[in-house]
Every structure is written in structure tokens, then in C-alpha cells.
Amino acid sequence: MKGKDTPIQILDNKFVGRGEVKGFIFRKIKSTELASIYEVDSNTSRVHYEVFRNKLAPVCIDYKRWVYSKTELKQIYPKAKDFGDWAWTYYSLVKAMRKFKMLNDDNPK
């Protein structure tokens, strides 16, 4: 499905969470084709960092009928259930950067 000319919507550099993370502020620290790292301010005294493998999903073009594009993809942010599988949380930026580097180094080009 993913081709060289397939349009891909990339996650925003900064956004405010919705749903289970309503009001959290997400700010992209670093991103490559393979992985991303975001700083998350959850309105507590301490920020944390979320590191994840980049995943793509088809763009929904008709929400009422659940119709998805066959040609356009979007990068998705992990949900709570994805942590420990393809996403990880760290309270240390150093540890988060280490995981980010590992995700990029471990994937063959």
C-alpha cells in the first residue's frame, strides 16, 4: 500500500491531547522515518517522554460510512494499549533518547 509517491500526513510538532490524554501537551523532540520522541506535559510537576516506532494508517475520508483512503496514509500516535509493544514512556530524556537511537539502529534500511 505504501509507495514512493504515497502522500503521508506526519504528526504535528506540537498538539494538545484528546480523549484519555485530554489537555496533555505533546511536543516533538526528534523524529526519523523509523521512530519519534515526544515530550509530554500532563499538567503535573513532571514531564515525561514517549518514544515509539512510526506506524501508518489509511486516512479516513468519510467518518459517517467509515470509508478509508486507498492512496493516502497518516502517521499515528500510540494509544495506551500500545505502550510496551511499539511505544515506551520514560521520565529521563537521556533514557528516552537511548531507546530512540536503539529503534533507529536496530531497523535495517
pLDDT tens for each residue of 43-57: 888 899 999 999 998
63-100 pLDDT, tens per residue?
777 776 777 888 999 999 999 999 999 999 999 999 99
Is the pTM here over 0.75, yes or no? yes
Which of the 8 DSSP states describes residue 79? P
- 30: in domain: yes
For residue 2, being part of any structural domain is answered with: no
Q: Is the pLDDT of residue 30 over 50?
A: yes
The residue segments making up the domain with residue 23 are 8-105
Per-chain mean pLDDT for the chain: 89
In a domain, 75, yes or no: yes
**Structural domains counted in the chain:** 1
Q: Is residue 100 included in any domain, yes or no?
A: yes
In a domain, 18, yes or no: yes
d(CA 50, CA 34): 14
Cα angle value 54/29/105 (rounded, 5°): 50
Q: Is residue 51 part of a domain?
A: yes
